[in-house]
Amino acid sequence: MFEDASDLIADNPPGLHYGVAVADLDRGRYSFVVAGFGGPNRIFVWSNGALRDVAPPELADDERRAVGVAAGDVDGDGREELYVLNADTFSGPKQFADRLFRRRPDGGWEDLFERPVNRGVRNLSAGRSVAVIDRRGVGRYGFFVANHGRPMRLYELAPGGALADLAPPLELARTGGGRGVLTLPVFSGHPDIFCANERGQNFAYRNRGDGTFEEVATQLHLRDCEEHARGVTTFDWNGEFGLAWVNWDGPHRLMTRGKNGTWKDEATPGFAFPSSVRTLIAADFDNDGNDELFLNHVGEPNRLFRVEPTLVHEETKLSLTMLDAGAAIDAEGLGTGAAICDIDGDGVLELLVARGEKAAQPLAVFKARAAHPNWLRVRPLTRFGAPARGAVVRAEYGGRVRVKGICGGSGYLCQMEPVAHFGLGTASSVDRVTVTWPDGTGVVVLNPGGNRVLTVPYPRG
């Protein structure tokens, strides 16, 4: 399916690359942000037909050990801040604190953790993933950090500009082998948190609707205690969210929700087969109207599967087909992270893969040969004009309903673009789009058409 498009990167030296995020650091102009471990963080924008690194020195920050990245509007100014998770040790305490970069009025960047008032709450624990969540639906985000061997953290901006770790009072400060994090309304009608762990059970935090949480992994059958999780994502399953995660050298999970609210593993033997996996991404790469699941590996071939509904005895069943990933098999790649974005604006997603954990390698970009020409991209905004991460978008076309979440964090160490990308398959346009924000507010757009980016502001009045 994929062709190698790595020559789109204007300057691509080998390095130890880890997490990848797609951030809106320049009011609507998206960037691939790549964590550099002992080397510079890189920020790629699309310019003059190529991906060009525009990271200023303060964001490049090449003396730290960055592994995870995520973006979100923490202060409600309409512009995303950038959280860079550093991990110079495998687990427990670490030397290098994380960064939370905010743009100054003069266009430069400052690390909010370097302010004297915030130095006491710096994260000095080895973490693996970070995600943003608007837990109260107010348009301001907190950063949830999945630490390994130390309590989880949730940073929000308090009045007066101080950062506060709200994980303890919200009973989120559990200790586990934190790996992948997902923040979307998968267990309730508001943003929830799913933390995929190793050496112990996963955590599933259901939002009560008021920004507080209850841990429900046991009652929802999501603990998976014996495995060592890495990446986690949602996928479209008949207009509702399915939940998938991958386990290091253990069986991978493909979960759908039953009528009683519990989850059931429907992974085929081919998908579940154990492997040295890191990141998991769900997206419609070829615009055929179905999600593909991309499993990124360390030192073994990547895998690609298509998820689609199949009618069996008048009942819709999940069908999973293994596909030829083409150049994205990348059998010698030391994959660590990956993210998707239509960075060049042609309606087909680019897949940027970070490589180099065990040895320095260049980054890779892959692009699918689109099987169908039509698409629609939906871009919800908060009341402040920033990407509405955690919003849910449903599109109705061709007699189907499909669902996408605006990513707050997923994959592993990573965060996808803040846009819902729908391939239309054999349809030429969309009949109806429904956007639901984290506070439950909804908007319906009739006949938005196709082959365009639909920006949906938060409703006022």
User: What rounded mean pLDDT belongs to the chain?
Assistant: 96
Mean pLDDT of 135-161: 95
What's the confidence (pLDDT) of residue 250?
97
The beta strand positions in 276-363, using DSSP E, are 277-283, 291-297, 303-312, 315-323, 335-341, 350-355
What's the confidence (pLDDT) of residue 360?
97
Distance (Å, rounded) from C-alpha 418 to C-alpha 339? Answer: 11
CB atoms within 10 A of CB 147: 29
Percentage of the chain with pLDDT > 90? 92
- Whether residue 461 is predicted with pLDDT greater than 90 in this model: the reply is no
What's the confidence (pLDDT) of residue 26?
85
Tokens standing for residue 389: 């991460």
Which DSSP letter does residue 413 get?
A: T
Distances in Å between the alpha carbon of 123 and those of 113, 137, 174, 259?
Answer: 9, 25, 15, 40
Residues 247-292: tens digit of each pLDDT: 999 999 999 998 888 999 999 999 999 999 999 999 999 999 999 9
What's the confidence (pLDDT) of residue 370?
85
Tokens standing for residue 408: 């707050």
Distance (Å, rounded) from C-alpha 92 to C-alpha 151? Answer: 9
Element (H, E) at 270: helix 269-272
Contacts of 100 (CB under 8 A, 6+ apart): 74, 81, 82, 83, 84, 111, 112, 113, 143, 155, 163
Distances in Å between the alpha carbon of 331 and those of 20, 321, 325, 368?
Answer: 20, 20, 11, 18
CB atoms within 10 A of CB 237: 23
Residues 42-95: tens digit of each pLDDT: 999 999 999 999 999 999 999 899 999 999 999 999 999 999 999 999 999 999
Q: How confident is the model at residue 161 (pLDDT cuts 50, 70, 90)?
A: confident
- Whether residue 314 is predicted with pLDDT greater than 70 in this model: the reply is no
Cβ proximity of 253 and 228 under 8 Å: no
- Lowest-pLDDT choice from 37-41, 45-49, 355-359: 355-359
Distances in Å between the alpha carbon of 201 and those of 217, 221, 223, 298?
Answer: 8, 11, 5, 24
- Which of 367, 321, 361 is CA-nearest to residue 337? 361
Mean pLDDT of 137-141: 97
What's the sign of the alpha-carbon dihedral 333, 339, 345, 346?
positive
What's the confidence (pLDDT) of residue 345?
96
- Which of 213, 211, 253, 206 is CA-nearest to residue 229? 253
Mean pLDDT of 113-121: 96
What's the confidence (pLDDT) of residue 313?
55
Buried b (16+ CB within 10 A) or exposed e, 111-145: bbbeeeebeeebbebbbbbbbbbbbbbebbbbbbb
Contacts of 376 (CB under 8 A, 6+ apart): 395, 422, 424, 429, 430, 433, 448, 449, 450, 451, 452, 454
Q: How confident is the model at residue 311 (pLDDT cuts 50, 70, 90)?
A: low
- The pTM of this model reads 0.97
CB atoms within 10 A of CB 342: 19
What's the confidence (pLDDT) of residue 389?
98
The beta strand positions in 333-441, using DSSP E, are 335-341, 350-355, 364-368, 375-380, 392-397, 400-405, 420-423, 430-436
Domains belonging to the chain, first-starting first, are: 2-457 (2.130.10.10)
Mean pLDDT of 298-311: 91
Distances in Å between the alpha carbon of 287 and those of 292, 373, 402, 428?
Answer: 10, 7, 13, 12
Q: Kindly write down the DSSP assignment for every residue of 135-159, as one continuous string.
A: TTSSS--EEEEEEEEEE-EEEEEPT
Q: How confident is the model at residue 169 (pLDDT cuts 50, 70, 90)?
A: very high
What's the sign of the alpha-carbon dihedral 158, 163, 167, 169?
negative
H-state helical runs in 136-254? 217-220
Q: Which amino acid is at 184?
A: L
**What is the three-class DSSP state of 326?**
strand
What's the confidence (pLDDT) of residue 359?
94
Q: How confident is the model at residue 159 (pLDDT cuts 50, 70, 90)?
A: confident
Residues 413-436: tens digit of each pLDDT: 999 999 999 999 999 999 999 999
Q: How confident is the model at residue 357 (pLDDT cuts 50, 70, 90)?
A: confident
What's the confidence (pLDDT) of residue 268?
95
Cβ proximity of 149 and 177 under 8 Å: yes
What's the confidence (pLDDT) of residue 27?
81
- Lowest-pLDDT choice from 88-92, 149-153, 214-218, 359-363: 88-92
Mean pLDDT of 317-339: 95
* Partners of 206 in beta bridges: 214
What's the confidence (pLDDT) of residue 387?
98
